[in-house]
Amino acid sequence: MSRTPAARTSVEIATQPASWRRAAEAAAGFEGLPKPGERVAVTGCGTSWFMAQAYAALREAAGQGETDAFASSEFPAGRTYDRVVAITRSGTTTEVLDLLERLRGRVPATVLTADPKTPVMDAADAVAVLDWADEESVVQTRFATTALAFLRAGLGSLTGLKSVEEAAVDAELALTEPLPEAAPAAEQWTFLGRGWTNGLALEAALKMREAAGAWTEAYPAMEYRHGPIAITGPGRVTWVFGELPEGLAGDVARVGGTLVSRPGTDPLADLVRAQRLAVALAESRGLDPDRPRNLSRSVILAP
Ligand SMILES: N[C@@H]1[C@@H](O)[C@H](O)[C@@H](COP(=O)(O)O)O[C@@H]1O
């Protein structure tokens, strides 16, 4: 019997609330999280880099210490940190392994991975194995959000932010609600965020590109009027994660664009809606997000 396109990705998306709950439990007993006051760098590639950005902004906003995020290939040569946190589903991504090798003996490394049988285990001082969140699909959904939920839970309760349990409840709703009316007929999507939700906006845009080959962009929300608004118009969607900045709804309406915004919903749950949209759009275009063109599950570069 032939498989429905996107069968794996759809299951992985749908099982995120349970996976986040398990992550929150696991974080409570994990000793390798950065300590308050430590200077921390968070790193990864692709989706994992965007989750790194989200966690870095959350940790710094929580007052737990300076926290930077870098794509593993772009780690600045001269920086020193108390700890590096690497996120890698596969545990085999070359840029992540190279970076950890360079930092070995100088900066303790905490790694979040799905597969305990991979080379990244040798490069880490502390490892959180989130194996229940591992995925068959090339396109990452569940592992990435579970890694972020794990790190977020490890920060304790955060002012102005729901708990991971509450985010999971919002995600259950996000899994059943209809998708925004303008989608998937729209021709272009711009995703906006502020603080930690910038990482989510970048990830939503990447998901739509990876899964559906869509034209997407992502920016900090206050940058929108500095240029991205130039491409907004009829048939184009501006999707805001988290709180809607004052005046933005009017700006989008003035140029004929469609605004999508769910201020009361936990932004991580809103990312689940964007993942569903990516799958819906892929299917409407006859593409299979389980096996997107030109992409592999993990990038392993020849030496
Ligand atoms: N196509 C995949 C991406 O989807 C993934 O986000 C990235 C990081 O992978 P990992 O988290 O396994 O290091 O690798 C590849 O580029």
Identify the band that residue 1 occupies on the pLDDT scale cut at 50, 70 and 90.
very low
Share of the chain above pLDDT 90, in %: 87
* Model confidence pLDDT, tens digit, residues 74-104: 999 889 999 999 999 999 999 999 999 999 9
Q: Which of 50, 53, 72, 90 to mutate to test the pocket of ligand 1 (most atoms within 8 A of CB)?
A: 90
Mean pLDDT computed over every residue of the chain: 94
CB of 45 closer than 6 A to ligand 1?
A: yes
Nearest protein Cα to ligand 1, atom 11: 88
Q: Is the shortest distance between the CB of 140 and ligand 1 below 6 Å?
A: yes
The reported pLDDT for the residue numbered 2 is 42
Residue 48 beta carbon below 6 angstroms from any ligand 1 atom: yes
Distance (Å) from CA 123 to ligand 1 centroid:
18
Interval 247-258: pLDDT, tens: 999 999 999 999
The pLDDT value given to residue 217: 97
- Nearest Cα residue to atom 15 of ligand 1: 298
What is the position in ligand 1's atom list of the atom closest to the CA of 48? 11
Q: Which CATH number fits domain 8-158: 3.40.50.10490, 3.30.200.20, 3.40.718.10, 3.50.50.60?
A: 3.40.50.10490
**What is the rounded average pLDDT of the residues 102-107?**
95
Q: Looking at residues 62-78, what average pLDDT do you find?
A: 96
Whose CA is closest to atom 7 on ligand 1? 46
pLDDT value, residue 56: 98
Give the position, in ligand 1's atom list, of the atom nearest the Cα of 140.
4
CATH code for the part of the protein at 169-285: 3.40.50.10490
Question: Which residue has the least CA distance to atom 14 on ligand 1?
Answer: 298
- The one-letter code for the residue type at 293 is R
Ligand 1 pocket, residue 299 CB under 6 Å: yes
Q: What's the pLDDT at 184? A: 67
Per-residue pLDDT, averaged over 118-123, amounts to 92
> What pLDDT shows up at residue 139?
93
| Crossing angle of the two packed helices 7-14 and 16-28, in degrees rounded to 10 | 50
- Tell me, what DSSP letter sits at residue 245? P
Answer yes or no: same fold for 8-158 and 169-285.
Answer: yes
Closest atom of ligand 1 to 206 CA is 4
Q: How far is the CA of 128 from the centre of ligand 1 (A)?
A: 18
How far is ligand 1, taken at its centre, from the CA of residue 210, in Å?
11
Domain boundaries, the chain: 8-158, 169-285
Q: Ligand 1 in contact with 96 (CB < 6 A)?
A: yes
The ipTM of this complex is: 0.94
Kind of pairing between the strands at 126-129 and 188-193: unpaired
pLDDT of residue 4: 60
DSSP at 222: G
pLDDT of residue 182: 67
Ligand 1 centroid, distance to 77 Cα (angstroms)? 23
